[in-house]
Amino acid sequence: MMDETVEWKYYGTFDGQLRGINNEMSAYLETLEPNTTVRMYLVAKTDCIVYFDVTDRDNAYVFGTRNPISLESDLGGGFKGATSMFTFEENFMLNVNFGLRWGCQSMINTEMKLLVFYANTDAE
């Protein structure tokens, strides 16, 4: 995948489905190299609000859909998406929580996909 300035490499997809009263799932990504930019997309067929939060080992928020640069979109066909990105200056282990915000009546059994891309700014 490539945009105007970056050729993104595909890291992987994390699939999830909400069951019961738990409104989120978790994923963990390997330690990244210094100066790596990570871009995530969360896509779900839902009427609910989708979100993801990336935290550090101490569970402190690093980036996600709460950032001003994040984008949330109605993709059509009942699908919603959210994206955000962040550049890590040091090696880092990512803890990702993703799901649906509370208050939506049709959240149970919602299937989601969290797509992860990266680019290292030191690469030539």
Q: What is the gyration radius of the CA atoms in the chain, in angstroms?
A: 15
Fold held by 9-120 = Jelly Rolls (2.60.120)
Task: Give pLDDT, residue 38.
Answer: 92
Domain boundaries, the chain: 9-120
Helices and strands per DSSP (H, E), number in the chain: 0, 9
Q: Is the pLDDT of residue 52 over 70?
A: yes
Q: Which two tokens stand for residue 79?
A: 């699908």
Sign of the CA dihedral running 13, 4, 65, 42: negative
Name the pTM for this structure.
0.85
Residue 2 is predicted with a pLDDT of 59
Dump pLDDT digits (tens) for 105-116.
777 788 899 999
Q: Which residue has the higher pLDDT, 7 or 102?
A: 7
The yes-or-no verdict on residue 4 having pLDDT over 80 is no
